[in-house]
Amino acid sequence: MIRADRLTRAFGTRVAVDALTFEAQPGEILGLLGPNGAGKTTTLRMLAGIIAPTSGTASVAGIDPGQHLERIHEHIGFLTESPGFYERLSAARNLAYFAAFYPNLDVANAVRASLRTMGLLDRAHDKVGTFSKGMKQKLALARTLLHQPEVLFLDEPTSGLDPEAAKNLRELILQLKGEGRTILLSTHNLSEAEAICDRIGVFQTRLVALDTTEALRDRQFAPQVRVEIRNMTNDLIAAISAEVFVNTASRDLQDPSTLIVSLQDIDRDRPKLVSRLVSLGAEVLQVREDERSLEDVYLSLVREDTP
Ligand SMILES: Nc1ncnc2c1ncn2[C@@H]1O[C@H](COP(=O)(O)OP(=O)(O)O)[C@@H](O)[C@H]1O
Ligand SMILES: [Mg+2]
């Protein structure tokens, strides 16, 4: 597992990561979601023992990354933003080269197992230079798995991949989570965070929020439905506003035939709302849920945090 306690890093006078505190558990994918320059890579590098924090402490697989550099590398895998390979060597030769850095590793077995996990075994002897970007990224992930680390740091793992290759890689990452590894993944891609992370830390130098996708949505926005009504009246709006299960009800400014109703519990209250509208004589044409994307949540959180 991973634990960070008030982890802070400054470069000169510029604070890149400010008092970051969180925990991630085995079998969990925790997303660090933030724009470019948010301090995501800096965070991963501190946790991997590549750079030292200015202050604060961390524990990764039970080890302090600042204290035991050698030991930490046996427990973590780090997928960097632009992993490099020897293009003229085969995939297997590349992995064998990196596997040799780990003491006590059966190189041939480790290479084979990693390639198999990433579905690259049939391309083991092809030159990396012939690989697509998606295959190279799978190979990079295979490289992080050579020594079967329990903790994985994945820095923007799907950035630059086409949607198909990105989806493919995400499935492999979910498989690694299923094996019980603790995964900290950085991304600026909201839909990616939503698709595979168990919890998301909205991060911009500071941790703005940390929760499940659903909880982040709920925290920021009460659920809403949009009801299109043929015979809208102010009395109708007033009557609906007065219902106990309704937070607010108001006409859409852009579309006067649409009533926007904020409910306490969408699944429980939506049928009640419709039957109440009908009993009040409303001609209901359409009812639909107002989908708040994680993007809405993210933007509203980051805006709130900007002084
Ligand atoms: N080695 C460094 N020296 C000076 N400034 C750095 C260094 N690494 C990162 N920074 C600065 O720290 C901030 C966070 O960078 P980074 O962690 O790379 O963000 P992200 O990965 O979220 O895009 C940026 O302002 C960046 O310029
Ligand atoms: Mg980065």
What pLDDT, in 10s, does the model give residues 30-71?
999 998 899 999 999 999 999 999 999 999 999 999 887 778
Query: With bands split at pLDDT 50, 70 and 90, how would you rate the model's confidence at 192?
Result: confident
Looking at residue 294, its pLDDT comes to 67
Ligand nearest to the CA of 81: 2
Q: How far is the CA of 42 from the centre of ligand 1 (A)?
A: 6
- pTM equals 0.80
Q: Which H helix or E strand runs over 111?
A: helix 107-117
What pLDDT, in 10s, does the model give residues 141-182?
999 999 999 999 999 999 889 989 999 999 999 999 999 999
Q: Over 60: is that where the pLDDT of 307 sits?
A: no
pLDDT higher at 146 or 254? 146
Give bridge partners of residue 152 from the DSSP assignment. 77, 183
What pLDDT, in 10s, does the model give residues 94-103?
999 999 988 8
Q: Is residue 77 within 8 Å of residue 61, measured between CB atoms? A: no
Query: With bands split at pLDDT 50, 70 and 90, how would you rate the model's confidence at 230?
Result: very high
Looking at residue 293, its pLDDT comes to 64
Query: With bands split at pLDDT 50, 70 and 90, how would you rate the model's confidence at 305?
Result: low
* Phi, psi of 113, deg, nearest 5: -65, -40
Please calculate the CA angle 225-227-229 and round it to the nearest 5 degrees.
Answer: 170
**CA distance readout (Å), 257 to 52, 172, 226, 284:** 59, 47, 10, 10
- Kindly list the structural domains of the chain, giving each domain's residue range(s) and its CATH number in brackets, ordered by start: 2-218 (3.40.50.300), 222-291 (3.30.70.100)
Q: Is residue 146 within 8 Å of residue 83, measured between CB atoms? A: no
User: Is the CB of residue 204 below 6 angstroms from any atom belonging to ligand 1?
Assistant: no
Testing ligand 1's pocket by substitution, the residue of 13, 41, 43, 82 carrying the most ligand atoms inside 8 A of its CB is 41
Which range has highest mean pLDDT (81-85, 212-216, 217-221, 299-303)?
Answer: 81-85
Please list, in sequence order, all residues whose beta carbon lies within 8 angstroms of the beta carbon of residue 165, skipping any fewer than 6 positions away: 132, 133, 134, 137, 158
Testing ligand 1's pocket by substitution, the residue of 7, 8, 9, 11 carrying the most ligand atoms inside 8 A of its CB is 11
Please list, in sequence order, all residues whose beta carbon lies within 8 angstroms of the beta carbon of residue 197, skipping any fewer than 6 positions away: 29, 30, 31, 33, 185, 213
Looking at residue 213, its pLDDT comes to 80
Q: Which of 113, 110, 102 is nearest to 73 (CA)?
A: 102
Query: With bands split at pLDDT 50, 70 and 90, how would you rate the model's confidence at 221?
Result: low
Q: Would you list the DSSP string of 163-217?
A: HHHHHHHHHHHHHHHHTT-EEEEEES-HHHHHHH-SEEEEEESEEEEEE-HHHHH
Looking at residue 259, its pLDDT comes to 94
Cα 226 to chain centroid distance, Å, stands at: 29
Which ligand 1 atom sits nearest the alpha carbon of residue 42? 17
